[in-house]
Amino acid sequence: MNDQASDPAEQPATLLQAQRLGLSRNQEVIFGPLDFSLHPGEVVLIEGDNGSGKTTLLRILSGLLEPYDGEVLLHGEPLTLARLSHQVALLGHLLGLKLELTALENLRFSIGLGGIRRGITPELALASVGLEGYEDQPIRTMSAGQRKRVALARLLLVPAGLWLLDEPYANLDREGIELVNRLLDHHIHRGGAALITSHGAYAYTSGMPRRIRLKAAA
């Protein structure tokens, strides 16, 4: 088992692998058991109705929650927060932006925390999510869609290969949805990977993303 995991030829670059992953609360099964894997250059879409455990699954994969059943492997070894954190960018339904600070100040803080990709500046990132001219505007005065765009700009800056996006399409207009798809295309062409949750109304359309459908086992 150990030999297999350490031999790169045996396991050709599986980034993330879930084995019999399950979640139950109060003895009621919410989802699972679930088996899937994620490779670099791949987008996997997690679909499910409200309350089907999409967010919880993403929290498990980001290491914030311990899996209840089964396990998650990162590069073939059990996932821990410490091993994951250099490679993951998380966009939760809470965006992690400070309302009192401006867009630029928020992004600068994210760079301090997570580092920065080569060849990009916070100003460039804001411009490429369509927020040019909003650099010095406090987040408090922005609309929900604009806040989401600032959070997307953070994804562009932080050098993470794995994007875990919880409902990235929520609150965005048609143009914004295309923007998310463009960012994802760019990310996977660079060799990155992404896991996206969606309740199904809008979804990643370019290419053929693999889909995982979450259904309560009851």
Enumerate binding residues for another protein (CB under 8 A).
Answer: 59, 62-66, 81, 84-86, 88, 90, 92-101, 105, 108-118, 159
Residue 23: CB minimum distance to another protein, A: 12
- Of 69 and 209, the one with the shorter C-beta distance to another protein is 69
Residue 153: CB minimum distance to another protein, A: 14
- Of 78 and 207, the one with the shorter C-beta distance to another protein is 78
**Residues 137, 141, 201, 19, Cα dihedral to 10°:** 70
Residue 63: CB minimum distance to another protein, A: 7
End-to-end Cα separation, the chain, in angstroms = 33
The answer to whether 54 touches 44, Cβ cutoff 8 Å, is no
Cα–Cα distance measured from residue 200 to residue 76, given in angstroms and rounded to the nearest whole number:
30
- Of 181 and 192, the one with the shorter C-beta distance to another protein is 192
- Of 93 and 213, the one with the shorter C-beta distance to another protein is 93
- Of 52 and 110, the one with the shorter C-beta distance to another protein is 110
Using alpha carbons, select from 197, 149, 150 the residue that is nearest to residue 177. Answer: 149
Cα–Cα distance measured from residue 20 to residue 70, given in angstroms and rounded to the nearest whole number:
5
Cα–Cα distance measured from residue 144 to residue 171, given in angstroms and rounded to the nearest whole number:
6
Would you call the peptide bond into 40 cis, given omega within 30 degrees of 0 as the criterion?
A: no
Residue 156: CB minimum distance to another protein, A: 13
Using alpha carbons, select from 42, 16, 14 the residue that is nearest to residue 211. Answer: 42
- Antiparallel, parallel or unpaired: β 16-25 and 69-74: antiparallel
Residue 56: CB minimum distance to another protein, A: 10
Residue 138: CB minimum distance to another protein, A: 8
The answer to whether 99 touches 138, Cβ cutoff 8 Å, is yes
- Of 93 and 215, the one with the shorter C-beta distance to another protein is 93
